Structure 1
Amino acid sequence: MLRKLYDWTLSMVEHRHALWVLAFVSFIESSVFPIPPDVLMIPMILARPSRAWLIAGVALVASVLGGIAGYAIGAFAFESIGQPILESLGKAERMTEFNTRFNDLGFWAVLAAGVTPFPYKVITIMSGWTGMPLATFITTSILARGIRFFLVALLLWKFGAPIRDFIERRLGLMFTLFVVILAGGFYLVRYL
């Protein structure tokens, strides 16, 4: 089933309403959909590099709005909607432990999930469930998703198709390393 969703998502690149499809996928990916918007973004930008910033902007706005929907699921419908979604992703067993430490990490948790391969939808739902301040969540989501989508757009705009393999296979690892190094730097400054 996941392969069919992936194929459908990829087939929408050529659709005349591809930007609307990207907005839809970006919105629902932030709370329930398993396919990341990059699947659409990358071929859309390669096909029309002059629209790279528009495409990244659409993904950013829709993703943050979808993140707010995920936050609402966690805050108001965790038991009926949020918990089954997290269970389907195999994250249910760690929810209680995660809840106790989550708000201490707040900014960092949302930033890390927004730019790394970790499912952003898990963080959006957990942010609402744990009662993270909405302003912190929205601000960090804009920063994290902006970094992710606009960096992908920049790389594709600047280097075109040759950078595609790097983005698809290694950019998530680079983002993860960046977040670890950044968090480590803050830790060193604070405690040493």
Structure 2
Amino acid sequence: MLRRTYDRVITLAERPTAPLWLFAFAFAEASFFPIPPDVLLIPMALANPRRAPWLAALTTLGSVAGGALGYLIGYALFAKLAQPIIHLYHYDAVFAAFQHKFAEYGVAIILIKGLTPIPYKIVTIAAGAAAFNFPLFMAASVVTRGGRFFIEALLLRLFGAPARHFIEDRLGLVTATVAVLILAGFIALKFA
């Protein structure tokens, strides 16, 4: 089943509409969707390593634009939209602690958490709810999200074929590792 899913994602990654889906996925993840855009970026870059930098730029643009929506949710719509999302994920206490940390360490939080597997939407909504300086938030988002996606793209561009063979030969191990990293991000958020 895992092999069929992987083959399907690689096939979909080669379609002409794939970049639009990548942008939409990155946008949604930064504001309300729980799965990181890396799950599309990596197969798309593996399918065509020469396009990896362009795909990283597109992912960054989508993520930063989605981050602006996440900020708006936190800033203008916290009571109606953000609070139910936070409550749905059982992050009420974590979110309160996060807001306090934003007042003290805002830019550092954006830069560090934007590089980790911690869901970026938590950062964007918290920045808006804390009324963090919007231009500074956007600049930090470009740096951290761009850094993350361009590092991935560079590695996939440099090691595209060998990385693809490694992933295909050890698909179960790679999938388990990605799942553990995502879970670690949620756990780190809960205890951060």
Q: TM-score, normalised to structure 2's length? A: 0.78
Whole-angstrom CA distance in 2 between matches of 1:112 and 1:133? 17
How many Å apart are 1:69 and its aligned residue?
0.4
Offset of residue 167 of structure 1:
8.4
The letter of the residue matching 1:41 is L
Q: 1:128 to 1:93 in 2, by over 3 A?
A: same
Give how far 1:14 is off: 4.0
Q: Is the CA contact (8 Å cut-off) linking 1:152 and 1:167 kept in structure 2? A: no
- Percent identity over the alignment is 38
Give how far 1:119 is off. Answer: 1.0
Q: Partner of 1:155 in structure 2? A: 155
> What residue number does 1:33 align with?
33
> What 5-or-longer segments of structure 2 have no aligned partner?
168-172, 186-192
In the alignment, which residue of structure 2 is the partner of 1:189?
Answer: none
Deviation string, structure 1 residues 105-164 (Cα, Å, up to 9, x no partner): 111111112100111100100000001000111111000001100000000000115446
Tell me how far apart the structure 1 counterparts of residues 153 and 78 of structure 2 sit (CA, whole Å).
34
Pairing of 1:47-66 with structure 2 (within 5 A): 47-66=47-66
Aligned to 2:134: 134
CA RMSD, aligned part only?
2.6
Structure 2 residue matching 1:115: 3-state secondary structure: coil
Instruction: Give the aligned partner of residue 67 of structure 1.
Output: 67
Aligned residue identity for 1:20: L
Native 8 Å contact 2:29 2:63 kept in 1: yes
Q: Secondary structure, in 3 states, of the residue corresponding to 1:140?
A: helix
Question: SS where residue 75 of structure 1 aligns?
Answer: helix
Q: For 1:49 and 1:101, locate their aligned partners in 2 and report how far apart those are by CA, in whole Å.
A: 39
Q: Quote the residue 1:43 is aligned against.
A: 43
Counterpart amino acid of 1:106?
G
**Shift in Å, 1:86:** 1.6
Task: Report what 1:96 is aligned to.
Answer: 96
Higher relative contact order (CA 8 A, sep 6+): 2
Render the CA deviation track for 1:66-96: whole Å, top value 9, x for unaligned.
0000000000001111111122222112222
C-alpha deviation, 1:19, in angstroms: 0.3
Q: Give distance in 2, aligned partners of 1:36 and 1:119.
A: 7
CA–CA separation in structure 2 for the residues paired with 1:112 and 1:85 = 23
What residue identity is the alignment partner of 1:139? A
Letter in 2 for 1:42: I
Q: Name the amino acid aligned to 1:119.
A: P
2:115 is equivalent to residue 123 of structure 1: no
What TM-score, normalized by structure 1, do the two folds share? 0.78
Point out where structure 1 has 5 or more consecutive residues left out of the alignment. 1-5, 177-192
Look up the equivalent residue of 1:69 and give its one-letter code: L
Query: Amino acid of the residue matched to residue 98 of structure 2?
Result: F
Q: 1:51 to 1:104 in 2, by over 3 A?
A: same
Whole-Å separation in 1 of the counterparts to 2:62 and 2:48: 20
Could you list the structure 1 runs, at least 4 aligned residues long, displaced by more than 4 angstroms after superposition.
9-12, 164-168
Answer yes or no: is the 8 Å Cα contact 1:12–1:21 preserved in 2: no
